[in-house]
Amino acid sequence: MFHASSDDPDLDRVLEPIRDLLIRSFNPVQSSPLETINSEDARQSPYLDLLDAHFRLYRDHKRVVIEGVK
């Protein structure tokens, strides 16, 4: 859940924990599926552009999956 608006200039810092999970040297997370973001469909989220700028994303008919760091 994001506790900042989608146009908050400091929102990049909110993504740091997700990035760290994906790139850590011990047991990194391989992917992270998102069906909702703030109780809304992740595929329609206003945060999707921000996520896409930082992460490799895969989209299907049900969800968005973070697959790695760009």
Quick check: 1 pLDDT over 70?
A: no
Residue 12 CA to residue 27 CA, distance in Å, equals 24
> E-strand spans in 10-50?
32-34, 36-37, 40-41
pTM of the predicted model, to two decimals?
A: 0.83
Of the two residues 4 and 22, the one the predictor is more confident about is: 22
Residue type, 28: P
Distances (CA, A) of 11 to 22, 30, 62: 18, 23, 25
Of the two residues 40 and 4, the one the predictor is more confident about is: 40
